[in-house]
């Protein structure tokens, strides 16, 4: 089943780093996923996110406020 992954962030260095980590993990592990980058602050706030970057997998907020390791992202994807 295809994963729906959303990276929320306004474009700051940490937000860009999170997007890079997520894309690397998805590619290296051949995960069937659609990755969307959300930079609009109003849309981010609609998710209840006040601290970026944030990661949403299949509609569930799995992390916010920091850039995780590739291993942690893979774990979050596999748990979702």
Q: Is 62 among the catalytic positions?
A: no
Find the catalytic residue in 10, 11, 12, 13. Answer: 12
- Choosing from 5, 7, 15, 21, which is the catalytic residue? 15
The predicted structure's pLDDT at residue 80: 86
Kindly list the structural domains of the chain, giving each domain's residue range(s) and its CATH number in brackets, ordered by start.
3-65 (3.40.30.10)
Residue 1's pLDDT is what? 86
Q: How many residues does the chain have?
A: 80
Tokens representing residue 79 in the block: 């748990």
Q: Is 15 a catalytic residue?
A: yes
pTM for the whole thing?
Answer: 0.94
Tokens of 69: 């390791």
- Please give the share of the chain, as a percent, with pLDDT higher than 70: 100
Q: Which residue has the tokens 């690397």?
A: 24
User: By C-alpha distance, which of 21, 22, 20, 7 is closest to 52?
Assistant: 7
pLDDT in tens, 39-72: 999 999 999 999 999 999 999 999 999 999 999 9
């Amino acid at each position: 089943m295809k994963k729906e992954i959303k990276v929320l962030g306004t474009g700051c260095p940490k937000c860009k780093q999170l997007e890079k980590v997520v894309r690397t993990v998805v590619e290296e592990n051949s995960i069937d996923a659609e990755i969307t980058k959300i930079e609009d602050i109003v849309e981010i706030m609609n998710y209840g996110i006040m601290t970026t970057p944030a990661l949403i997998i299949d509609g569930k907020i799995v992390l916010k406020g920091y850039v995780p390791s590739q291993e942690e992202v893979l774990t979050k994807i596999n748990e979702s």
